[in-house]
């Protein structure tokens, strides 16, 4: 049943962690490239004494999900380990004395 869901639906947005679609990323790439081309054109046709113009900053994009998932997984693993150690200390008093 899940296989037939649209790639732009609510489930896909939840899994991706953002609402950007493929076309949004392509549009951001086009804007960045146009900015670079305009800058190259201006630098190629500038007066000899004029300073070189630097490239514009890239368009903002959502943070990759992998980084957020790694951080979340590490935090959950640390919380689970702390809870496990607390339970072991309660269940076995000799571990609490050593630890």
pTM: 0.55
**CB burial of residue 74 (10 Å; 0-12, 13-18, 19+):** exposed
Question: What DSSP assignment string belongs to 1-38?
Answer: -GGGS-TTSHHHHHHHTS---HHHHHHHHHHHHHHHHH
> Average pLDDT of the chain?
85
Residue 5 predicted with pLDDT over 90:
no
Question: 31 with 59: CB under 8 angstroms?
Answer: yes
Question: 42 with 53: CB under 8 angstroms?
Answer: yes
């Amino acid at each position: 049943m899940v296989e037939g869901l649209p790639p732009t639906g609510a489930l896909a947005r939840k899994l991706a962690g953002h609402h950007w679609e493929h076309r949004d990323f392509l549009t951001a790439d086009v804007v960045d490239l146009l900015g670079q081309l305009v800058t190259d054109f201006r630098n190629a046709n500038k007066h000899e004494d004029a300073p070189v113009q630097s490239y514009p900053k890239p368009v903002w994009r959502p943070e990759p999900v992998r980084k957020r998932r790694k951080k979340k997984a590490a935090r959950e693993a640390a919380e689970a380990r702390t809870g496990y150690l607390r339970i072991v200390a309660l269940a076995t008093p000799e571990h609490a004395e050593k630890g």
